[in-house]
Amino acid sequence: MLKEARIAVLVSGGGTNLEALLQAQEAGQIPHGKIVLVLSSNPDAYALERAENHGIPRFAIPRKGSSQPAFEAALAARLAAYQVDCIVLAGFLSILSADFVRMWPERIINVHPSLIPAFCGKGYYGLAVHKAALERGVKLTGATVHLVNEIPDGGRILLQKAVAVEPGDTPETLQRRVMEQAEWILLPQAVELVCRQIVREGALSHE
């Protein structure tokens, strides 16, 4: 029987990347992984409703009003309870500490809406990335899926895909094109790559 790595998706907002992952899973595009948990740092995130619509257990762990240690302890407890093997940051806007990241070596996946190393670092998230790309006048932008390590914006790049900037683009139209042509394609592919490696190494937490 095919073994599956158990995946948790961490979100903070609308959950469009989560939706792409769920649809990819249902289409059989992530055969070595299974999304078993969605956690949100924002209790009002629409992503929680998306998870419910697909029958995935989901919980809000609010970051606001909580210390970093308490927030990460709550995350870790849920991840342990669901025997998670792999974490996907899909529009997760809360910073994770180096200590937390070290507990998940080569197992935290992040998607960034630019071709790293361009337009990444402090303050570069969401529409700010696309606004910066337009202000710089670049002809190509795109998305990057990478593994997370203790160094902010560090970690091994898994996949990148370029997307053309078109005349008359706004941050909003460019954001949508990058999602459709890059993020929603790359993220399921990268998740499958990591989950397949976990399964091949026999490093499942629930065995």
Residues with catalytic function:
112
3-state secondary structure of 43: coil
- Cβ-Cβ contacts under 8 Å for 168 (sequence gap 6 or more): none
The helix or strand, by DSSP H or E, that contains position 70, with its residue range, turns out to be: helix 68-81
Distance CA 50, CA 36 (A): 13
- List the end-to-end C-alpha distance of the chain, in Å, as a whole number: 13
163-166: long-range contacts at Cβ-Cβ below 8 A with a sequence spacing of 24 or more? 164/139, 164/140, 165/133, 165/134, 165/138, 165/139, 165/140, 165/141
